[in-house]
Amino acid sequence: RKEVEQDPGPFNVPEGATVAFNCTYSNSASQSFFWYRQDCRKEPKLLMSVYSSGNEDGRFTAQLNRASQYISLLIRDSKLSDSATYLCVVNLGTGGFKTIFGAGTRLFVKA
Amino acid sequence: DVKVTQSSRYLVKRTGEKVFLECVQDMDHENMFWYRQDPGLGLRLIYFSYDVKMKEKGDIPEGYSVSREKKERFSLILESASTNQTSMYLCASSRRGQKPEAFFGQGTRLTVV
């Protein structure tokens, strides 16, 4: 079983749609969680951290369920510019030594 | 502006060659990482370093070695390149701490022929 699992997609949605990505992780000792975004032929960049209480940044909402070892990302009112691959990222330990990336979920937003 | 710089965007090497991939960060980060990214497999950790001269194997270290002689520089070495090492290689760095955001270099697309 992979340490971090994501639905690979692709997700094809129209502009304005709401889309949700899910991610599960296997190591209960995981300490911190993130969503990264990777555009085609570019490096990954941090989208947002994920906090236990859930957090929101504009149209993006991230949730963490430690009991179920599950992370989610919700994008509301999708824009064409949201088309990218979204990577779920889990950190083991507090030193940031072991950062595990999911394989990513590809999103296409169409006009 | 934070910066992680990889020495080459594209490289073509022959089977059996020794290959050096260089990565430099200007953020005084303690942690540095080398990943490879392949379609359908995502990012896989090759090696990481949490301090100068310290290194730890990641998930797929076979066929690779690393060097960290200075804090800002982390080198990945392919001792004898093989065609199955054709991939995108990404270097990253992060600060030691509880919420270690990783910053990536632009990637090196290596083709071994």
Subunit contact B98:A32, Cβ cutoff 8 A: yes
Subunit contact A46:B98, Cβ cutoff 8 A: no
- Model confidence at B53, pLDDT cuts 50, 70, 90, reads very high
DSSP string covering B79-97: SS--GGG-EEEEEEEE-SS
> Which residues of B are less than 8 Å from A97 in CB distance?
31, 48, 50, 56
Residue A96: pLDDT above 60? Answer: no
Of all residues in chain B, the one with the smallest CA distance to A35 is: B101
Distance in Å, alpha carbon of A101 to nearest chain B alpha carbon = 6
Q: What is the pLDDT at residue A97?
A: 65
Both structure tokens of A86: 């979204």
Looking at per-residue pLDDT, the higher value among A63 and B101 belongs to: A63
Looking at per-residue pLDDT, the higher value among B113 and B97 belongs to: B113
Probe site for chain A from B104, B108, B109 (most A CB atoms < 10 A): B104
What average pLDDT does range A42-56 have in this prediction? 91
Report how far apart, in Å, the C-alpha atoms of A45 and of each of B85, B103, B106 are.
24, 7, 10
Between CA A85 and CA A102 the distance in angstroms is 11
Count how many Cα atoms sit within 13 Å of the Cα of residue B37 in the half-sphere of its side chain: 27
* Nearest Cβ partner for A103 among B42, B98, B105: B42
Q: What is the mean pLDDT of chain B?
A: 93
Its sign, for the CA torsion A87, A40, A80, B40, is: negative
Residue A1: pLDDT above 80? Answer: no
Q: What is the pLDDT at residue B109?
A: 96
Torsion of CA A82, A62, B4, B93, to 10 degrees: -160
Residue A99: pLDDT above 90? Answer: no
Residue A49 per-residue DSSP state: E
Between CA B85 and CA B64 the distance in angstroms is 10
- Model confidence at A46, pLDDT cuts 50, 70, 90, reads very high
- Model confidence at A93, pLDDT cuts 50, 70, 90, reads low
Closest CA to B43 of A98, A75, A12: A98
Residue ranges of B 40-59 with Cβ closer than 8 A to chain A = 40-43, 45, 48, 50, 56
Whether B74 contacts chain A with CB within 8 A:
no
Between CA B84 and CA A72 the distance in angstroms is 34
